[in-house]
A and B are shown apart, each in its own frame.
Chain A
Amino acid sequence: MERIPELCEAVEIIPFDLSSPVLLFPVRHHSPVCSYHLLKAIELYSPEIILIEGPQDANELIPVLTDDRTELPCAIYYYYKDKKQLVSEEAADHSCYYPFLYSSPEYNAMKAASELGIEARFIDLPYSEILINTEGEQGLRKNEKQSYADDGRLVRSDYFKRLCEKTRVRNFEEFWEKYFEISGLELSTEDLYKQLMTYCTLIRHSTPRQELIADGTAAREQFMAANIKAAMKEHSRVLVVTGGFHSPGLFELLKGKVPETKLHRIPKDCTGCFPAAYSYRSADALHGYSSGMSYPGFYDNIFKRLKRADTPKGIYSDETLTLLVKAAKKSAEKDLAVSVADITAARTLMSGLAALRGIPEPGMSELMDGVTSAFIKGEKTISSSMPLEYLKQLAIGDGVGKIGDLTHTPPLVADFEKQCHALRLKPETAAPQEAVCGLFTTAKGLPLSRFFHRMRFLGTSFCERTKGPDLHGSTDRSRVREEWSYRRSPAVDAVLIDRTTDGFTIEEACTNIVKRLLKNGPGLDTAAHIAVECFLMGISIEEEAEQLTRIAAADGSFFSVGSALGYFKTLLELKQLYEYPDETILPLLTRCFDKLVLMLPAMANVPDEKADELCSIIRRLFALTDSLLPDRRPQLTQSLTELCSQTEKHPAVFGAAMGLLCAVDLSNQFAAERAMRGFLRGTAEIKKQGAEYLKGLFSTARDIVFSGDDFLLMTDELLRSMTSGDFIEILPSLKLAFSYFTPQEIDETAEAIAALYDADAGAILDDAAIDEQLYSFGRQLDIEITQKLGGEHH
């Protein structure tokens, strides 16, 4: 490796001393070469105990991870609920994963210890303490999805940037692969140790002390050093496996007296950890936050080969070729032309590049380059780069791990399993299963439906409703059965584990999520959606009554409150059927009602696209005064009257309001007629608005048509006075206006209209069609006559 001399000379590099009572072995998380040489170092050093960087809360989980039945990738999941506000005033919940792959040095250290019959122990601060000792937005407290295994330090330093320029590599992954992963396999353990230690020491050297304190590193290292010292009292050869960045720090601390770390008293139910199945995909997702290596599947395969083979020679060549062929195969499956010639060309390019770059064998970077050059035909675009995409997917790997020892099942998963058993569901199948819930017919119908709704609400992708009443969209409300399809995939467990901070049972988790969602202060319509969810999940909103009231008070949008009103109405109507005990909805409904009535007059002049929605809210308000809120009829009437007296108003809204006023008091019909006449006498533009007015009017008071001939006559007049162009323009509104009538009513209307023209309703329908030839003859005649007269034919 090229050196930056002034730095190298300034710092002390820890020697690889097998006679020392403690050997600090630096690693990078998930790095095969580190695992490879760590195992050799264990053989050479024969330690009496192996200490591993990791929160010490998880010590009892080590046997679970090394259990023969356990399949990797697995992770330890840590959570901490900051109820005592030790981390911050927000009292937030925190959680993180500590993933292990076959290539992880930490895993190999544990496994080796178990094989040698010696103890392996985690030595880092408990998870809660790490958080307490970390400043906001630093280390494990960043808002990103967090992994305990953070290599960020190895990448972020200025030293590394200079190194990149000097060594002509594009990024850290390429640098690491070139100088450590591939070249490192040819080195002796001692040489790799020295090389890695040099790199880490130099990085460490260029990191300011202040940063180490801010992100909790200083406190953690002090605690780890104290643990190492304690182990050294009991054992004469202690092997310490930590991230490379910590080794120089620990080395310094071990030279002197290590101050004791005082731990906080954390209530038992506030923190904990358990083993969880993990996936390569999630492991790769974390690499974006510099935690562990990218392409975990590829490096896991490399390590598996390393363990099997006698010599590391040729392993990278073989594995990259395997992956290249797989990528070609997958591309060919997707109808992308990739031939054997292309594979050969890519392969030649890869080995050529490796030689040019001075690497013994091609690695992931060369593989990517090979595919880029040889598989992508033409310009590199999103669609032509698909082979590269397939390669990445293959290199990431799609495996999911499995925990062998089931005594440490995470609480939510345990609750899920318990409920599945109680409800007699069989989720462990390859194909999705079907379940039918007779909501009101069978005793287990409702509990089953609620369980499914809860699982869906948690975002687990466990189940999907194929049929059933949709209370959100208010369609199919008459259905009394729900049909679900469900299947337990590894993703379901992953989500359940992630939700642990929300609660230990599914019900508790749902309740807490609802609480949090409402606390964020959404609009009232969103809050009403959440209320509908609660209703479906059978989770009471009594405790949230106050918050909901606050949201209702704060929401100034007429339409948001209007749509919330609809949901609350639905819930009130259905609550007995769904056996949902509740005292909160009616007051909320009343509040929405009052608010809307107050705002209504100001809404008279809504834009066209909102007019229909406004009309339906007005109808909804009126319907409520018929059923649930009869005592509020006067206020609504008052409000509608005010609306009608506004000078600027949308004709459809005006019509709807007039219609309702007619329903309250028949004497208002006169005013409605007068308004219609007003439209009729106006200019062509105003006449067109007449159709909108009719639409609104008929939507609320269609019986007005049958109470006399006046409206029919006026409609007739309206239509007759229009040009055919204008008529076509208003046709949609008119059509909609008449859609509010029942077929019977339309028949009656048609008859009434026929009577106006002295025609028989039957005669219109039964008239024989005109002969086509006759029609065209007549038309031609017409044209010719017009021409003869010198006029234009229209």
Chain B
Amino acid sequence: MEQFIKPPVEVRYKDELELLARNDHGRRPENWKLSPNAVRLFILGGEFSTAEGKVRIRKKFYGNDALVERAIITLAGSRGLMLVGEPGTAKTMLSELLSAACCGVSTNTVQGTAGTTEDMIKYSWNYALLLSKGPCRQALVPAPLLIGMEKGIFARFEEITRTPAEIQDSLISVMSDQILNIPELGDEGLVLARPGFNIIGTANTRDKGVNEMSGALKRRFNFETVEPIADVRLEKEIIVREAEDMAAAGHIDCPVDTDVAELLAVTYHELREGVTSEGTVVEKPAAVMSTAEAVSVYYQALCHAWYYGSGRIEPAVLTQSLLGAVCKENRDDLEKLRGYFRTASKEQSKAGELWKEYLSCAKLLK
């Protein structure tokens, strides 16, 4: 298979999806590739029986199983799904998994930015054809919303609150009437959505207020708030698993050190919650302390160990990666990070050798 940095979900998990589809006997909403039960199994993992015996599917989304169930059922209904939450809580990943499992495609996506325009969402024109043939279907370049409607698949709208309000609102008529009108095409310009079409939006709560969604649009979505992972053990598991995947993709043959992963998981968890496991209050940095950030810090340290070092992750390197990840915008965050190291070095639960070595790197924080 050809190599890519990050293949789409439907490519990455092709085998699993095919296996599930073959053995899926549940009822499917029209145009869905899998039944809701199989979608749940794909995302939340578990065992199922096939003719060849029992197969185990790996869990891909952690934290809130009921949320995933609600998301699946929402998508089978008439309302769109809006995933909101802190940055780095795997909203996009969940949206990709859902699209890939339900429609077999996760790439029908609009990336919301301040410069997003209506034609990036709905359709634009091939101007050469437009000039030569006039407005006709051949000259039309469909954008994700139109593609989704015509094919009966999901259109994903990333970071919806970063797009201007009037662009967001262009979704309203499509979502309520399931019709897109292309006036240039005259009588043929009425596109009716096929069954299976729906919209998955994501919005991060840090951007709240940049372009707040209108009430009318909100009413057309069911909202799900994706919370950061509350369990340190789970967070560690995710760091280990993701780092392993990334290492494999980058051909880094370095064993993942679970103790270091735990160290990082605890650091991130405590800084995010603003309180240590022993109950001491620490100042929360303004920077995003997400699990995704922790993974990238870990991977960075791992790369360093692989290319420059002995293959062992050095706490000093880890500390420096952490510094780079936490102190991005705000100078105060450096002081907060130092404060955390000071507090942590006094705690009983962090008295192990590795912790000591890690915390002694506080001098590098500058």
Find the B residue at minimum CB distance from A380. B225
- Determine whether A684 belongs to the interface, using a CB cutoff of 8 Å to chain B: no
- Determine whether B69 belongs to the interface, using a CB cutoff of 8 Å to chain A: yes
Q: Which of B36, B44, B77, B84 is close to A379, meaning CB atoms less than 8 Å apart?
A: B84
Find the A residue at minimum CB distance from B212. A378
Roughly how many angstroms separate A346 CA and B219 CA in the complex, as a whole number? Answer: 12
Residues of chain A lying within 8 A (CB to CB) of residue B218: 377-378
Instruction: Decide: B77 and A348 in contact? CB cutoff 8 A.
Output: yes
**Minimum Cβ distance to chain B for residue A170 (Å):** 6
Instruction: Decide: B73 and A353 in contact? CB cutoff 8 A.
Output: yes
Per-residue contact bits, chain B 53-90, to A (CB 8 Å; 1 contact, 0 not): 00000000000011001101110111100001100000
**Minimum Cβ distance to chain B for residue A302 (Å):** 22
Q: Which of B69, B205, B213, B219 is close to A342, meaning CB atoms less than 8 Å apart?
A: B219
- Determine whether A249 belongs to the interface, using a CB cutoff of 8 Å to chain B: no
Per-residue contact bits, chain B 31-50, to A (CB 8 Å; 1 contact, 0 not): 00000110010001010000
Instruction: Decide: A369 and B66 in contact? CB cutoff 8 A.
Output: yes
- Determine whether A763 belongs to the interface, using a CB cutoff of 8 Å to chain B: no
Instruction: Decide: A373 and B223 in contact? CB cutoff 8 A.
Output: yes
Roughly how many angstroms separate A180 CA and B74 CA in the complex, as a whole number? Answer: 26
- Determine whether A324 belongs to the interface, using a CB cutoff of 8 Å to chain B: no
- Determine whether B151 belongs to the interface, using a CB cutoff of 8 Å to chain A: no
Roughly how many angstroms separate A492 CA and B223 CA in the complex, as a whole number? Answer: 43
Roughly how many angstroms separate A369 CA and B66 CA in the complex, as a whole number? Answer: 8
Residues of chain B lying within 8 A (CB to CB) of residue A337: 215, 219
Q: Which of A170, A352, A355, A377 is close to B66, meaning CB atoms less than 8 Å apart?
A: A170
Given known contacts A170-B65, A369-B66, A373-B224, A339 and B219 CB-to-CB distance under 8 angstroms:
yes
Per-residue contact bits, chain A 633-668, to B (CB 8 Å; 1 contact, 0 not): 000000000000000000000000000000000000
Residues of chain B lying within 8 A (CB to CB) of residue A369: 66, 69-70
- Determine whether A444 belongs to the interface, using a CB cutoff of 8 Å to chain B: no
Given known contacts A353-B73, A379-B205, A345 and B222 CB-to-CB distance under 8 angstroms:
yes
Interface residues of A in 376-414 (CB under 8 A from B): 376-380
- Determine whether B208 belongs to the interface, using a CB cutoff of 8 Å to chain A: yes
Roughly how many angstroms separate A376 CA and B36 CA in the complex, as a whole number? Answer: 23
Instruction: Decide: A345 and B69 in contact? CB cutoff 8 A.
Output: no
- Determine whether A317 belongs to the interface, using a CB cutoff of 8 Å to chain B: no
Given known contacts A348-B77, A379-B208, A353 and B69 CB-to-CB distance under 8 angstroms:
yes
Tally of chain A residues near chain B (CB < 8 A): 24
Among A353, A356, A376, residue most surrounded by chain B Cβ atoms (within 10 Å): A356
Find the A residue at minimum CB distance from B39. A356
Residues of chain B lying within 8 A (CB to CB) of residue A357: 69
**Minimum Cβ distance to chain B for residue A60 (Å):** 47
**Minimum Cβ distance to chain B for residue A2 (Å):** 11
- Determine whether A547 belongs to the interface, using a CB cutoff of 8 Å to chain B: no
- Determine whether A230 belongs to the interface, using a CB cutoff of 8 Å to chain B: no
Instruction: Decide: B72 and A356 in contact? CB cutoff 8 A.
Output: yes
**Minimum Cβ distance to chain B for residue A594 (Å):** 43
Among A355, A357, A373, A374, residue most surrounded by chain B Cβ atoms (within 10 Å): A373
Residues of chain A lying within 8 A (CB to CB) of residue B65: 168, 170
Find the B residue at minimum CB distance from A338. B219
Per-residue contact bits, chain B 108-151, to A (CB 8 Å; 1 contact, 0 not): 00000000000000000000000000000000000000000000
Roughly how many angstroms separate A356 CA and B46 CA in the complex, as a whole number? Answer: 15
- Determine whether A349 belongs to the interface, using a CB cutoff of 8 Å to chain B: yes
Interface residues of B in 198-233 (CB under 8 A from A): 205, 208, 213, 215, 218-219, 222-225
Q: Which of A170, A349, A376, A379 is close to B74, meaning CB atoms less than 8 Å apart?
A: A349
Roughly how many angstroms separate A341 CA and B205 CA in the complex, as a whole number? Answer: 25
Q: Which of B46, B222, B225 is close to A349, meaning CB atoms less than 8 Å apart?
A: B222
**Minimum Cβ distance to chain B for residue A310 (Å):** 30
**Minimum Cβ distance to chain A for residue B70 (Å):** 5
Residues of chain B lying within 8 A (CB to CB) of residue A352: 36, 73, 76-77
**Minimum Cβ distance to chain B for residue A788 (Å):** 50
Q: Which of B69, B77, B222, B224 is close to A356, meaning CB atoms less than 8 Å apart?
A: B69
Find the A residue at minimum CB distance from B221. A377
**Minimum Cβ distance to chain A for residue B21 (Å):** 18
Instruction: Decide: B36 and A356 in contact? CB cutoff 8 A.
Output: yes
Find the A residue at minimum CB distance from B72. A356
Roughly how many angstroms separate A348 CA and B44 CA in the complex, as a whole number? Answer: 22
Instruction: Decide: A374 and B73 in contact? CB cutoff 8 A.
Output: no
Find the A residue at minimum CB distance from B29. A352
Find the A residue at minimum CB distance from B84. A379
- Determine whether A372 belongs to the interface, using a CB cutoff of 8 Å to chain B: yes
**Minimum Cβ distance to chain B for residue A769 (Å):** 53
Q: Which of B40, B208, B222 is close to A373, meaning CB atoms less than 8 Å apart?
A: B222
**Minimum Cβ distance to chain A for residue B56 (Å):** 14
Per-residue contact bits, chain A 333-362, to B (CB 8 Å; 1 contact, 0 not): 000010101100100110011011100000
Roughly how many angstroms separate A374 CA and B223 CA in the complex, as a whole number? Answer: 7
Residues of chain B lying within 8 A (CB to CB) of residue A339: 219
Q: Which of A168, A341, A372, A378 is close to B70, meaning CB atoms less than 8 Å apart?
A: A372
Residues of chain B lying within 8 A (CB to CB) of residue A377: 215, 218-219, 223
Instruction: Decide: A374 and B222 in contact? CB cutoff 8 A.
Output: yes
A-B contact pairs, 12 of them (CB 8 A): A170-B66, A345-B78, A348-B77, A356-B69, A356-B73, A372-B70, A373-B74, A373-B224, A374-B222, A376-B225, A378-B213, A378-B218
Residues in A lying within 8 Å of B, measured CB to CB? 168, 170, 337, 339, 341-342, 345, 348-349, 352-353, 355-357, 365, 369, 372-374, 376-380
> Which 6 A-B pairs give the minimum distances between C-beta atoms?
A352-B73, A380-B225, A373-B222, A377-B218, A348-B77, A379-B84
Extra contacts besides A357-B69, A379-B225 (16): CB < 8 Å: A170-B65, A348-B78, A349-B73, A349-B74, A349-B77, A352-B76, A353-B69, A353-B70, A369-B70, A373-B74, A373-B223, A376-B225, A377-B218, A379-B205, A379-B208, A380-B225
